[in-house]
Amino acid sequence: MFKKIIKPLASIKLAVFVILLIAGVSAVGTFYESMVGEAYAAQKVVYKSVYMYLAIFLLCVNLIAVMIDRWPWKVRHTGFVCAHIGILITLFGAWITQEFGVDGSVAIEVGDKGSMVVLPDRQISLYAFDENMVPKVIGQKPTDFIVDLPSSDQALFQIEGKPLRVKQYFHFAERDEKIVASENKNDGPAIRFLLSNDNVSVSEWMFASKSNQQQKLELGPATVVWDYGEYKYSSGNVIHLFPKEGKVAYRVYSKKKKGLSLEGLTEAGSMVATGWMGLELRLLNFYPHSRRRVTYVEKERFSKATQSAVQFEYDGEEYWLGLNSIVRFFSKSKAYVLSYGQVQIPLGFNVYLKKFNVGRYQGTKRASSYASDVFVKDLGFSTISMNNPLKHNGFTLYQASFSENESGQPTASVLSVNKDPGRWWKYLGCLIMVFGICHLFFYKKWIGKRKKGVRAS
């Protein structure tokens, strides 16, 4: 009876099917990754999908069944048993790693310290301020939006009886910040101007608000000031702009005259000659009340400018949140902060980055080697470099990459942080598997021949 159940599960035909299935799913994964340009998405959508787990489950069943089927094992089964047990042990090791391992990273600025490991998993946290204005976590949810987008009629959190919902999620989105007119009388005024002559042309937004009453823009030969009208001239070429009677007032101060040279009122679309270097000032937009509006535009694939972004809705208001950012919002009585970011776990110790060294190939900017000089309490000074990790507190820190500024000075080191309890299982499994396969393929040819030779003699 038992054999009857085992037989079909142990069939080699099933094995061929499972092998091709796993290969096929993996191939889809590589094409998907190439299409979207991001490994994380491919992991979520393909490699760690239900289909893959199902295929691997089938493989395990098949492997176990075929070994039971061949029971009791004989010496000639050595290769077969080893190859298959090796695969099972390797898969077991992979499972241990997946369940109990840590695979994250920590980026440390030169001269600074790092103590938190950033994991690829993401979560949404909601904080409320208590009476001492200290934020406290009142809700936290892991998110897996790329495969499991919460429907917009389902509340993520309930705040004071009203639901906070996810309206939209873009996995690849570019941030787009606009200044728009506002109805709210408390919002500050904004203008956009174009300053140009035959050689230069500069177009900028300027924005004043209750908390930031004056904005100054240094444009080389001249400074532009936008405020509510309080600016007092001291020196240089200055264009002072401020809202007045629903229009924009301008005052041009010149360096030569050491004082006011021009003043008047203008409006969107009109032009003022400043009198210096043929520069003309054209007012492009003017909003007496305005606010910044951040939106995200969905993209098809990953680039350096994209990030994942979530749009939330609470009490009729909508908020966009890019990955690893926060937004503050208010109910009638209280202030809240919502964060969307990668999960962080503590290292349990501080890593101080004292220095970051980059070696370059002669005469080029190409890095030939790089290393982090770090200090860890208990360990003292040490160097983490390629193929030379640092082990402490169960974690292993590897030199992964670094960032540099425009002049080629390294600014931060990126260390990959890892804890892998499944490692030795995987190594053991692989060893047994390779031994088994070699035994299967070459036993007859090498050992078998020798035995024949012995018999013949």
List of residues contacting another protein (CB under 8 A): 11-13, 15-16, 19-20, 22-23, 26-27, 29-31, 33-34, 37, 39, 42-43, 47, 94, 97, 103, 301, 303-305, 359-364, 366-370, 386-387, 389, 396, 398, 400, 416-418, 420, 423, 426-427, 430, 433-434, 437-438, 441-442
The nearest distance, CB 96 to another protein, in angstroms, is 11
Query: Nearest to residue 91, comparing CAs of 22, 172, 21?
Result: 22
Query: Nearest to residue 378, comparing CAs of 338, 408, 348, 344?
Result: 348
Under 8 Å between Cβ of 294 and 179: no
The nearest distance, CB 362 to another protein, in angstroms, is 4
Residue number, 101 or 288, with CB nearest to another protein: 101
The nearest distance, CB 168 to another protein, in angstroms, is 23
Q: Report the distance separating Cα 378 and Cα 347, nearest Å.
A: 14
Under 8 Å between Cβ of 281 and 271: yes
Query: Nearest to residue 195, comparing CAs of 237, 227, 229?
Result: 237
The nearest distance, CB 205 to another protein, in angstroms, is 21
The nearest distance, CB 445 to another protein, in angstroms, is 9
The nearest distance, CB 272 to another protein, in angstroms, is 31
Cα 13 from chain centroid? Answer: 43
The nearest distance, CB 144 to another protein, in angstroms, is 17
Residue number, 155 or 428, with CB nearest to another protein: 428
Under 8 Å between Cβ of 355 and 364: no
* Beta strands 162-181; 306-314: pairing state: antiparallel
DSSP 8-state code for residue 44: I
**Angle, CA 72 vertex, CA 66 and CA 74 arms, to 5°:** 100
The nearest distance, CB 390 to another protein, in angstroms, is 11
Instruction: Please tell me whether residue 175 adopts helix, strand or coil conformation.
Output: strand
DSSP helix, strand, coil percent of the chain (3-state; round to 5): 25, 45, 25
Residue number, 11 or 325, with CB nearest to another protein: 11
Query: Nearest to residue 392, comparing CAs of 333, 446, 434, 350?
Result: 350
Query: What tokens does 438 get?
Result: 């070699």
Under 8 Å between Cβ of 48 and 146: no
Query: Nearest to residue 403, comparing CAs of 105, 89, 154?
Result: 105
Under 8 Å between Cβ of 92 and 429: yes
Q: Report the distance separating Cα 110 and Cα 326, nearest Å.
A: 25
The nearest distance, CB 263 to another protein, in angstroms, is 39
Q: Give Dmax (Cα) for the chain.
A: 117
